[in-house]
């Protein structure tokens, strides 16, 4: 029984150390359209109509492109409302409330365990009416 408890504690300790180290290996935050993060560099911009909603998902990656677990905070310009997708802390629903005078931005912010602040950003462009 003591060996089982010791082995369990060792696994937990190793998991904690690995997670702590992973949080500090974050080198980029990519943002993807949809509820699932994709591969590659992610979006730099998204085109929306006034009243349209899109779902965006953030993915943290290390220098080699391996996924790093993140707990992002999202913010946007006043022309865009953001709602967290239930059960998906890395995903938000963005709604364009009104056309911005220029460009509008949605930003994903992550602070690592070491206090390093990292951001990923998407520019929102208004779709031209046909």
* β-strand pairing of 45-48 with 117-126: parallel
Q: Which residues pair with 45 in a beta bridge?
A: 123
Weakly modelled stretches of the chain, pLDDT under 50: 6-23
Rg (CA), the chain: 18
Q: Quick one: 130 exposed, middle or buried, by C-beta within 10 A (0-12, 13-18, 19+)?
A: exposed
Phi and psi at 125, nearest 5°, equal -110, 145
Structural domain including 95 reads 2-126
Q: What is the pTM of this model?
A: 0.76
The structure tokens listed for 100 are 């911005």
Here the CATH number for the domain that contains residue 114 is 2.60.40.10
Number of domains in the chain: 1
pLDDT digit string, tens, across residues 2-31: 555 544 444 444 444 444 444 458 999 999
DSSP letter assigned to residue 128: P
């Amino acid at each position: 029984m003591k060996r089982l408890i010791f082995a369990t504690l060792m696994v937990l300790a190793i998991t904690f150390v690995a997670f702590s180290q992973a949080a500090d290996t974050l080198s980029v935050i990519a943002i993807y359209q949809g509820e699932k993060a994709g591969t590659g560099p992610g979006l730099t911009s998204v085109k929306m109509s006034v009243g349209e909603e899109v779902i965006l998902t953030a993915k943290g990656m290390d220098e080699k492109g391996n996924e790093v677990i993140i707990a992002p905070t999202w913010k946007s310009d006043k022309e865009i409302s953001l709602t967290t997708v239930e059960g998906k802390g890395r995903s938000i629903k963005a709604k364009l409330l009104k056309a911005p005078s220029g460009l509008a931005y949605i930003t994903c912010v992550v602070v690592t365990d070491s206090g390093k602040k990292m951001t990923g950003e998407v520019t929102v462009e208004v779709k031209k009416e046909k």
